[in-house]
Every structure is written in C-alpha cells, then in structure tokens.
Amino acid sequence: MKQTPDEKQILVNFQPGHITQAGFLGTDTRHLHEIIHADAVILARLNISTEQIADKLQILLDTAKAAMESSVTIDDFNVRSTWTKGVLPCPFADPGVHDKVQVTVIRESTGESIVFSQLNIHLIKAHGFFQGVGSNYRLEPEHLVSFLKLTPEVEID
C-alpha cells in the first residue's frame, strides 16, 4: 500500500536529526508498525496495558518533578528528574509538545535503574511505542513491567 505524504513525514520524524539528534529507532531495522506490534504482543501475553505502564511512569515523573531535581523515594523507587531547556513534539505529529524532562529511577531493593523522558510516557500511552532497539530511551516492555512491579488488571464481570 502506498504511503501518504503525511505518513512519509511521520516516518522521517523518527530518523536521527529531525526531532532528536539520535532519533527514536536506534539500531532497529524493523518498520515502525512492526516494532509497535511486537511490543503489543509482549504486553498482551503479560496482560498489562500501555495505560498501566504510562500511569505508573507518570506518578514517578510527577514525584520527581515535585522534588525539583532532588532525589526522593516513593515506595521502593528513588526518583530524580533533570530538566533541559526546550520542548519536543510527538514524532507521530500529535498536537502539543513535551518538556525535556528526564527521570532516573532506581529500584532501591535491587539497585536496578531505568531512565525515561516525559515524551516516553506519551509515546507509550498514546501509541504503544517503546522506541526501537538501541534507541537512547528504549524501554523494554517485559523488563519495564517487572521493574515497575505491575500486575495484570483483573476484569470484573
């Protein structure tokens, strides 16, 4: 199927140097839709939604931002935000922009850590996009679910 000009521009947005210096795909050679699908399959197997992940990351981000670049602990997580001047648009061309905020989270019981940005939350929640393998801000869905201690949602009849 032939791509529209808008679809072509969206794919360009993911490449290095267009929105971010490193881009969003890393060393991943798969098509954008294949990356999203593969991650969705993992989440379906785990019975975890992108909303659950994004909501937990948002709590961590909000906690870190409130601490004004100081470390703070919430549950088993030590969080700290770092702000950089400027904003980033969504590479999918959604309206609005996202502050350049990076959050470092250390799980105190294990010493494991993750780093994510404010834009990561939007990409996960709105698009199911965890970025390409090798990307600076790639969050592996299975590891992220374990790290955040997420449990499957229970459906009530």
Q: What is the pLDDT of residue 129?
A: 98
Q: Say if residues 99 and 87 touch (Cβ distance below 8 Å).
A: yes
Instruction: Reduce the DSSP state of residue 78 to 3 states and report it.
Output: strand
Residues 96-113 pLDDT 10s: 999 999 999 999 999 999
Q: Is residue 152 part of a domain?
A: no
DSSP-assigned beta bridge partners for residue 98: 88
Q: Is residue 66 part of a domain?
A: yes
Give Dmax (Cα) for the chain: 50
Q: Is residue 131 part of a domain?
A: yes
Q: Is residue 41 part of a domain?
A: yes
Q: Is residue 12 part of a domain?
A: yes
Residues 74-92 pLDDT 10s: 999 999 999 999 999 999 9
Q: Is residue 153 part of a domain?
A: no
Between CA 92 and CA 96 the distance in angstroms is 11
Q: Is residue 155 part of a domain?
A: no
**What is the domain extent for residue 142?**
5-147
* Helices and strands counted in the chain (H then E): 5, 4
Q: Is residue 68 part of a domain?
A: yes
Prediction pTM value = 0.93
Total of domains in the chain? 1
Q: Percent of the chain having pLDDT more than 70?
A: 97
Q: Of the candidates 113, 105, 49, which has an alpha carbon nearest to the alpha carbon of residue 82?
A: 105
